[in-house]
Amino acid sequence: MKFCSDCGSARVVQKVPAGDNVPRFICEECHLIHYQNPKIVTGCLPVWEDKVLLCKRAIKPRYGLWTLPAGFMENNESVEQAAIRETWEEAQAKVEQLSLYMVLSLPHISQVYMMFRTQLCDINFAPGIESLEVQLFHQKDIPWNDLAFPVIHRTLTHYVQDYVTGQFPLHVGDIIKTSCTQHPHFHYDI
């Protein structure tokens, strides 16, 4: 933040406000504190019989790699509405029976992923504007080496493991990215 979005002043500094313990962007002209907080990314793991629905990304980053339909939650909607909306936008797919399945914090990019396990209402899906292809995959055919993000890999791994038992408990955890290796370290999972 270089300018105050409220008064336009360039006198924006980063410091810890009185009674706080985190540095914030503060305008020294109008004294407004500009808080910045993590964003929620939410989406679905849509299931049809023994298959899962994946989308091939038509946008950067990770153009051409496979992902689950998901995106940033918007103001004035619920998490479920956002997950349903993203699934419609990216895969033109209608889903039902939402069950929260993964809550994963990514502190290095200040995001929280919330993924719902869902049932497809029908198989009338099609690529949305952000997808090149949308396809149902048998578990044995999941393109593990061509998944777009560690979160997607993690979600599908849990799903395949849980499928064996038929129990799909909520998984809560985080993905800590170490700057030296750029490889994700799976911190814990309760």
* Residues engaged in binding a copy of itself (CB under 8 A): 1-8, 10, 12, 19, 22, 34-40, 72-81, 98-100, 103, 105, 107-108, 110, 112, 114, 129, 170, 172, 174, 187, 190
Question: Measured between alpha carbons, how far is residue 20 from residues 27, 31, 33, 35, 36 in Å?
Answer: 16, 15, 11, 12, 14
In whole angstroms, the minimum distance from the beta carbon of 190 to a copy of itself comes to 7
Nearer to a copy of itself, 65 or 100 (CB): 100
Q: What is the DSSP string of 21-36?
A: -S-EEEETTT--EE--
Question: Measured between alpha carbons, how far is residue 47 from residues 8, 11, 101 in Å?
Answer: 49, 52, 13
CA-wise closest residue to 105 among 154, 65, 61: 154
Nearer to a copy of itself, 100 or 136 (CB): 100
Nearer to a copy of itself, 145 or 165 (CB): 165
Peptide bond into 61 cis (omega under 30): yes
In whole angstroms, the minimum distance from the beta carbon of 137 to a copy of itself comes to 26
Nearer to a copy of itself, 110 or 178 (CB): 110
In whole angstroms, the minimum distance from the beta carbon of 21 to a copy of itself comes to 8
Region at 94 (left for phi over 0; alpha for psi -120 to 50; beta for the rest):
beta
In whole angstroms, the minimum distance from the beta carbon of 128 to a copy of itself comes to 11
Nearer to a copy of itself, 107 or 143 (CB): 107
